[in-house]
Chain A
Amino acid sequence: MAPIVSVKNLVKRYDSVLALDHFDLEINQGEVFGLLGPNGSGKTTAINCILQLLTYEKGQIDLFGRPMTATSYDLKRRIGVVPQNVAVFDELTVYENIDYFCSLYVKESSKRKPLVEEAIAFVGLEEQVGMRPKKLSGGLVRRLNIACGIAHKPELIFFDEPTVAVDPQSRASILQGIKEMTRRGSTIIYTSHYMEEVEEICTRIMIMDKGRTLACGTNEQLKELVAAGEKIVIEADVPEAALIKMRALPHVLSAVYADGRLEVACENGEHNVADVLAELAKAHISPGRIWAEPPTLNDVFLEITGRQLRD
């Protein structure tokens, strides 16, 4: 079965800046594909090229197994877009906004009406249908932005940082909605700054920077790419001498002490915690709280790109 999205060798320049450097992407049906990268890494440019909103110097883009062009309206009919910035009319009510954007895909008003009502219910804006966007809170406007992109029930949906500047409650609601759309069979491309969101909802993740793909795989596959198997955190007073001995232990990659917390990064090993505690006991150090955690996507990102996602 052909992938839903296939991008090969895509090159896009903004004057002297290479925004996409021979970028490749393949997404299969039913996937929730996370596109991760710092600001300026090329995420939005990639999406805009796929949607034919931007020209590009080189490359081939296929959607649903067919070449995507600016006039591929039959393909566009199967796509939904939730842009990064809220793109709704301040002059129209909630209902009119959703109905307008749905009408760009579905002509017949009789078919459209149930779709619009379903979208309203899906994002939980039943009580605000007659309101204009300026009367809504930031979170509710974001939900409206989503409803405008999904009302026509697209098979492929682009979510470009939909949870930016959204309160935790609305964010949880949005993520829940995306999961529900996946259950209904939609394929989703999701870009975000928030690692925890991507970890939570994405079945496959691509990390990109400077217009290039750095890594791509499932959450687990990406975590296997990094050397650190687990991170042990201990609250204790640790002198420098004990720290040096700690670093010399087998499987220990690094040991950092700051603000009363010792963080020891270890390779995968069976007795890492026991070894570290034994070393502390030798140095007559009484630990406070102790816990171990697997590497996060943030650790993966940091190791691959050399910087934090939000840098």
Chain B
Amino acid sequence: MPVFKCILKILRANITFFLIYIIGLSFMGIGIASSLSSEPTTGAFEIDRATYAVVDRDKSALSEGVAAFLGEHGDAVAVEDDEFALQNVIAKGAVDYLLVIPAGYGEQFAQAVRDGKELPAMDAAYSFISLAGIFMDQQVDGYVSLVRTLMTAHPHDAVADLTTQAAKYFEDSVDASYISTAVDVSAADQFSVFLGWSIYTLFTGIVVCVGNILGVMGRPDLRRRNLASALPQGRYNLQLALGCLVITLVSWGWTFGLGIAVYHDAAFSIGLAGVALCGAAMLALCLFAFSFALILGQSGASLLACNAWGNIVGLVIAFLGGTWVPLSLMSSEVLAVAHWLPGYWYSSALEEAITVGATPTLAGALPALQCIGVLLLFAAACFCISLVVARLRAQTSEAGGNLTAPATLS
């Protein structure tokens, strides 16, 4: 088995890819699935008080009212009325909100109310690290608008009274609480999320590892040397396929085994038949990835190309398989596209398999089996394409020449 052993040595030399894509990303899948928590929420809310600074250059009843209003809703930070200090306090994120009330603001405000014109503006700046400042500014706008309304309605009342009255309206608040959705995340759900995440893990991992090995073995000079050797071509191809298939099966075994080991409770809740169907669906997905890698390998793709194809196609298949956005939230147009990719059928197979029950009937298991069948058709289609690519490439001298010479006599 020299070719088989050689494949394992090539894998050993590039073990980083296997460790990253198959081992590392499967653990990431465990992390993502386990982060789906069924812990109940506390239901308690706490008002988040923003920090603010006010520079009052007006010193009028209105400006003092605005400052007092802010004091009710946030924590004041003292700042000097100096250009550098004002820039610094925002640039360093010392406050969420900075309000500068210009001199004469109170007078201009009263005049605008009397004339029915637009209110004078105050200078405001917000922190770039939170939205609390913007929210506070909206509150100030609301407060000032309310003062204007009150001033219009009671033109002879003192401004200080009007600002106090306006502030009282803002003291009212609405009670808020969480509404329990009554959805408990089970081990089966976590197992399902892990299996869904594995679309990307397995596809990319297998494509990169197997594609790279086939790319190395298909290097024209090495290929010529192998072809010229005493090892029959059939046995060479068989060992090559076997080596790549073993990598595929190890990837599948590791990922599925890890899922079962971590979410063993899921096995009990889903049932043996359901778990077996999940495993079969994952195996079919792996065979698709294997066939896709064959196309890349036979076309002489480099390691970089295998990485690129594996990642890009893996992400597309995973996305359209509902790994990140549930299929139920996708538009009909996106779903129509998803039908043409194996990720959709894999997710559908998992969905059907998980609900198949502990004692399934053939009719009950049929939807899952149909989805697995579609996955296998995808794999078969890619395998056929890889054979065509291999045949075409074998006839080019760049790939090491053609295999057989006719025994034509002169």
Contacts and interface: CB of A to CB of B under 8 A. Distances in A.
Interface stretch (A35-43, A98-106, A248-256): A98-106
B167 to A, nearest CB: 76
Interface residues of B, number: 34
B2, B222, B226, B404: most-surrounded residue (chain A CB, <10 A): B2
Interface in B374-410: 397, 400-410
B280 to A, nearest CB: 33
B108 interface: no
Interface of B: 2, 5-6, 9-10, 12-14, 216, 219, 221-222, 224-233, 397, 400-410
27 contacts: A51-B227, A52-B228, A53-B227, A53-B228, A53-B402, A55-B402, A55-B406, A59-B408, A60-B410, A69-B404, A71-B233, A74-B230, A76-B228, A76-B229, A83-B221, A83-B224, A87-B224, A89-B9, A89-B10, A90-B13, A90-B216, A91-B13, A91-B216, A92-B10, A96-B9, A100-B2, A104-B231
A57 B226 CA distance: 23
A54 interface: yes
Contact of B405 (A70, A74, A103, A105): A70
Contacts of B225: 81, 83, 87, 101, 148-149
A58, A73, A83, A91: most-surrounded residue (chain B CB, <10 A): A91
A53 B227 CA distance: 7
Interface of A: 8-9, 14, 48-49, 51-60, 67, 69-71, 73-74, 76-77, 79, 81, 83, 85-92, 96, 100-101, 103-105, 132, 148-149
B224 A49 contact: no
B303 to A, nearest CB: 11
Contacts of A92: 6, 9-10, 13
Contacts of A67: 407
A158 B228 CA distance: 11
B405 A86 contact: no
Nearest to B223: A87
A88 B401 CA distance: 18
A103 B233 CA distance: 14
B216 A54 contact: no
Given A81-B228, A87-B225, A89-B216, 15 more contacts: A48-B224, A51-B227, A51-B228, A52-B404, A53-B228, A55-B405, A58-B410, A70-B233, A71-B404, A76-B228, A76-B230, A90-B216, A92-B9, A104-B2, A104-B226
A56 B405 CA distance: 6
Contacts of A51: 227-228
Nearest to B409: A60
Contact of A104 (B9, B230, B404, B408): B230
Contacts of B233: 70-71
A135 to B, nearest CB: 13
Nearest to A53: B401
A77 B230 CA distance: 5
Given A85-B221, A91-B9, A92-B9, A101 B229 contact: yes
B221 A49 contact: no
A149 B225 CA distance: 9
A105 B230 contact: yes
Contact of B221 (A54, A87, A103): A87
Given A58-B410, A76-B230, A104-B229, A70 B404 contact: yes
